[in-house]
Structure 1
Amino acid sequence: MPASQVVISPSTPADARDEAVWERVWQHQPSVSKDQALLDREANGPRWRLIVDRLESTFGTVRGLKTIELGCGRGDLSVLLARRGADVTLLDQSDSALAQARSRFDRLGLDARFERGNLLGALDPWRGRFDVVLSVGVVEHFRRTDRTRALAAHHKVLRSDGLAVVSVPHARCIPYRWWKLYLELRGWWPYGLEIPYTKRELQARARAAGFEAIETHALSFRQSLADHWCKRLFGRRPTWADERSILDGMMGLVLVMFGWR
């Protein structure tokens, strides 16, 4: 059994991410087979390949890097980092999310540290401690200046010359925007406030948060078509879902930003 542990640290109430919303989201736990399929898809997808490339070009190797995933949920990226020998920490404000993440790491025989906190709260216990900070699907759940504050939280936990990896939904992705609107109109949207980013806004807010060098990529247009429409209309995910498209840069599903401190 891995030496994972949950550390409860002081956190302030979230004012942009409704805690009740996320407790409801994380009450559902996928089956082991579905969970493994989700991990495999991430591991074989363009986002993870790009992240590994930037980590290796920045640090030479992933092994031994001290990483923290903010708003970790079940910790997809942290699992993949731990498999490559990183020293991983996961932080979330949801007790249910942390419980799922710990259960997953224990099942996979991976070591990790789990901490409770929120991005707009006091992050002093983690200030300047990490080589790499990551978040997936987190900072779009804030509005106005809190969007910059959420990115500044990434900057705060990094060591000098550290790297932030931030993945958010892309505002220019038409299949995603129509899918989200459809669910909202039907009353089925489960994730509360979600405001996707343009490249321009993400880069501007990252600069305001203190990042000195910034690189942004749009990825996975075909994944958006496959997951948001084809799978629901035809009952299966097309084999071309994870292939690159000439439309990625214009309207890919996700933006991945790398910010160097």
Structure 2
Amino acid sequence: MDKQSYFDANRKSWDERVAIHRRDDTKFYDVEQFIAGKDSLSPIEAAEIGDVKGLRIAHLQCHFGLDSISLARRGASVTGLDFSPAAVAEARALAERLGVDAQFVEGNVYDARDLLAGEFDRVYVTWGAINWLPDIALWAKVVASLLKPGGKLYLAETHQTILSLDWVEERIVPRYDWRTPKEAPIVEEVATTYTGAADELANKKTYSWQHPLSDIINGLIAAGLTLNWFREHAALVWPLFPNMKAGEDGLYRLPADHVQLPLAFSLEARKG
């Protein structure tokens, strides 16, 4: 298969998930509370993103727009980009319903420079985004091309260390190589989406890639960005493994008696 075939298969899977996520039977996204005014940013990015009032933000791989709209509610002018037409349609409908300054564009993230007009103060990328991309160095160049001089990338993601592991016989064990070749992605077939909804997916097969932290950081440096800060977190916004439990802040952690592992990381990088 070629790269476009991987994207097409993944897009079909995400198109199918949108209606399930928007219906939100399991309250994973807490959509109704969000519509009523609840912020969708987790405590991690909420504490780190800073004041965005008056900023132009490009939100890459925005799904159906909850975080984009949350940033707009904080006073930013937001343009969200996603390759799923179903996600973009839902995002546009929500933005119009809520009357916020958020626009949504359909397209592949690698085409973002051609699809999004102007330069941005921030590029925002979070949670389950870059693992769908085969070329992290090219992604970093796209990010840099979107930023104006002095503009910043904010990235928050699941930690590569934990993504190399899997749940087998009620234990967390190594399963995946730490780096995935572009031409040999991880192939998975999943019956349901990650929200816990019972709906069985017709498009079960997906393709993803592991990117070591060194490849991510060095890709950003090679693209002309300067790392302002880098942080690792012992918490995650979703339960990757069945033994992870949510705390009062809504973040998921490993049990206290389990060996503690880095579950997430975040960083800020500046152009110029």
TM > 0.5: yes
Name stretches of at least 5 consecutive residues in structure 1 with no aligned partner: 1-12, 53-60
**1:46 aligned to 38, 44, 48, which one?**
44
Q: Which protein has the bigger helix share?
A: 1
Please state if 1:101 is matched with 2:91. Answer: yes
TM-score with structure 2 length normalisation?
0.69
Please state if 1:129 is matched with 2:119. Answer: yes
Residue type of the alignment partner of 1:255: F
The residue that corresponds to 1:66 in the other structure is 56
**1:195 aligned to 209, 217, 225, which one?**
209
1:72-124: per-residue Cα shift (whole Å, max 9, x none)?
A: 11223322211111111111121101012122223333231111221223623
Counterpart Cα distance in 2 of 1:149 and 1:254? 22
Counterpart Cα distance in 2 of 1:222 and 1:112? 26
Residue type of the alignment partner of 1:139: I
Q: RMSD over aligned Cα, in angstroms?
A: 3.5
Counterpart Cα distance in 1 of 2:117 and 2:219? 20
Contact 1:167 1:257 in 2 (8 A): yes
**1:178 aligned to 166, 170, 190, which one?**
166
- Cα gap change, 1:173/1:124 in structure 2, threshold over 3 Å: closer, same or farther? same
- Cα gap change, 1:86/1:169 in structure 2, threshold over 3 Å: closer, same or farther? same
Q: Which protein has the bigger strand share?
A: 2
Name stretches of at least 5 consecutive residues in structure 2 with no aligned partner: 169-174, 176-186, 193-203
TM-score with structure 1 length normalisation?
0.72
- The alignment partner of 1:30 has SS state of helix
- Cα gap change, 1:179/1:74 in structure 2, threshold over 3 Å: closer, same or farther? farther
Counterpart Cα distance in 1 of 2:263 and 2:71? 23
The residue that corresponds to 2:221 in the other structure is 207
Return the offset for 1:169.
Answer: 1.9
- The alignment partner of 1:105 has SS state of helix
How many corresponding residue pairs? Answer: 229
Compare 13-22 and 160-169 and name the one that shifted more.
13-22
- Cα gap change, 1:166/1:241 in structure 2, threshold over 3 Å: closer, same or farther? same
